[in-house]
Structure 1
Amino acid sequence: MDHRKECRIYTMTGEAVGGFLSGSHVYPDSEVDLYHEFLSLYLLQIESGGKWGLMNVETNELAISLQFDYIHPMFSAKNPPKTNHAKTSHAVKNALHGYINVLGETVIPFVYEDACHYASSNGYFAVKRGKWGVVNRENEPILPFVFDRIDLDSCFDRYAGGLQPYAGISAIRDGYMVLFDMDGEILEDHLTAQPCGYSTHGFGDYMLLQRKRKFGVACRDGRLITNVTMLKREAMHLIRKLEGAC
């Protein structure tokens, strides 16, 4: 009896490679498409019959069995980067969201209606239960479930028009922006605009914060430089001074 099952393997660029499964071994139709050195760093997505798992590109074996509605790729167990988020993957099971590790073990239980694709660098997870909140690896709350949006290790920069690196947590609640440090402590809340990157030489280390007509300065490493009490020109002058431009 032929126990082969057709499958599709997805590269990190989202391209699909056909193939079939026999037991736990994967036989790609075109292995040439998978022979890229950097792909060996990852466990790649594999889908068959509507179920998802992850495969090891170096061995062509299933690393995590086909048991999920969807799963994101993750770094392989072989020399993963030394960060907590690199050792977990967001997955969906029975239409609920959670996270697993490289052994397929549940890290954050499958009890949430949505979740961010990746954890933060210090192992926090943004998950949704009606509203968005943040939990740690023990599934204990770091931020309450009261936010309309949460960005880990980044914030939406209105000057850049997209997410920019920020070593903390940014969130939106009832139309106001809240900026947290990497421990989940509030730096500034009730901001009336997204942080605005400002630099005298391209991408800089500092952001302008705004609450109505008052401004402040924060550093992208998650520190508050000054409270939101300044005029805009004073805050911009401070950034130029911090950058050694004046």
Structure 2
Amino acid sequence: MDHKKECRIYTLTEKAFGGFISGSHVYPESELDLYYDFHGFYLLPIESDGKWGLMNGATDEIVVPLQFDYTETLFDDYIAGHAVKNGLHGYINAQGQTVVPFAYEDAKDQPSSNGYFAVKRGKWGVINGKNEPILHFVYDRIDLDGCFDLTAGWFTFYGGISAIQDGQVTLFDRYGEILEDHLTAHPRGYSTNPSRYGEYMILQRKRKFGVICRDGRLITNVTMLKREAVRLIQKLEGAC
């Protein structure tokens, strides 16, 4: 008879509940707690005796053995997920193999859609899957596939990389090339239809403004008045 071990399971709804492990199978306290995890391929974090691994929420099978200090949920559209081993951060794939070495003091939860990873060595930088630098380690904050406004407290989709250094924002395209730097505010979404999530964002450098598309294409440099930037978005959306 297999030895049974108590465990904790962490779901997509950020709820943690108990269960036990027997062999490679997890027996949750209640299958109802895993209801939302049946509808897609997700590997859920599972912890027992201080060691973490990943399980398939639909089959209750352990797919990544419990050998880490910590693991994040691994989604089917990401090539790897964040994990911690021996106190250091890295990334693993769905088979538990190391994608980015466990050599960093911190790491973002998920990589970008382009296979970039934001990691920290005193300052934040970005590497690719070969552990080669894409952005140097000089930034106070980095967001992959999005922008985060520290003053407003919101996160918005952007199909590139945004970075903060000394209070100023730099926007990169999906290949790590600078689009605009020394921005004095985070990009702000704008749409002619308040009920719709607009495709464009307004950029600002002091009293000058520009427009960028959420997919990471620069529409115009930051050389315009604000009303001109708004007017351009209205034209792009066909509102005038």
TM-score range, shorter chain: over 0.9
* Equivalent residue runs for 1:29-178 within 5 Å: 29-36=29-36, 38=38, 41-75=41-75, 80-81=76-77, 86-156=78-148, 161-178=153-170
Say if 2:38 and 2:58, in contact at 8 Å, map to a contact too.
no
How far apart in 1 are the matches of 2:220 and 2:57? 49
Q: 1:189 to 1:40 in 2, by over 3 A?
A: closer
Deviation at 1:158, TM superposition (A): 7.9
How far apart in 2 are the matches of 1:89 and 1:16? 19
How far apart in 2 are the matches of 1:159 and 1:95? 31
Alignment of 1:22 onto 2:22: yes
Greater shift in the superposed pair: 121-130 or 234-243: 234-243
How far apart in 2 are the matches of 1:87 and 1:153? 15
How far apart in 1 are the matches of 2:40 and 2:9? 14
Deviation at 1:58, TM superposition (A): 3.7
C-alpha distance after superposition, 1:194-242 (max 9, x if no partner): 1111221123111111111111111111111111111111111111111
Give the alignment's TM-score, normalised by structure 2: 0.92
Say if 1:54 and 1:65, in contact at 8 Å, map to a contact too.
yes
- Equivalent pairs counted in the alignment come to 238
How far apart in 1 are the matches of 2:217 and 2:61? 45
Q: Which runs of 5+ in 1 are unaligned?
A: none
Consecutive aligned runs of 4 or more in structure 1 exceeding 6 Å deviation: none
Say if 1:40 and 1:56, in contact at 8 Å, map to a contact too.
no
The aligned counterpart of 1:230 is 224
How far apart in 2 are the matches of 1:212 and 1:164? 21
Q: Which runs of 5+ in 2 are unaligned?
A: none
> SS state of the match for residue 87, structure 1?
coil
Say if 2:38 and 2:57, in contact at 8 Å, map to a contact too.
no
Greater shift in the superposed pair: 159-168 or 92-101: 159-168
Deviation at 1:25, TM superposition (A): 2.4
C-alpha distance after superposition, 1:149-199 (max 9, x if no partner): 011111125897511111100010011000000100000000011111122
Say if 2:52 and 2:68, in contact at 8 Å, map to a contact too.
yes
Say if 2:12 and 2:37, in contact at 8 Å, map to a contact too.
no
Say if 2:79 and 2:115, in contact at 8 Å, map to a contact too.
no
The aligned counterpart of 2:202 is 208
Say if 2:37 and 2:57, in contact at 8 Å, map to a contact too.
no
How far apart in 2 are the matches of 1:232 and 1:117? 35
How far apart in 1 are the matches of 2:198 and 2:97? 40
How far apart in 2 are the matches of 1:127 and 1:216? 30
How far apart in 2 are the matches of 1:228 and 1:58? 49
> SS state of the match for residue 211, structure 2?
strand
Give the alignment's TM-score, normalised by structure 1: 0.90
Say if 1:9 and 1:18, in contact at 8 Å, map to a contact too.
yes
